[in-house]
Structure 1
């Protein structure tokens, strides 16, 4: 079986994922706003 990181600590991984995701969204919005 393949050892997956989210099998060990789903909460911390989820937090990191949400943080990076929100950062990506904010960055996209900022870039879009700058290019307007």
Structure 2
């Protein structure tokens, strides 16, 4: 089973993916504001 979490508050957006069968947690953080807004 997979579980997904997303936090969109503040200056960063955080993504997590938990693979319960493999016992692995994947994590990614990215800026919420684009580097070159139009």
Richer in helix (by share)? 1
TM-score, scaled relative to structure 2? 0.22
TM-score, scaled relative to structure 1? 0.22
Larger Rg: 1
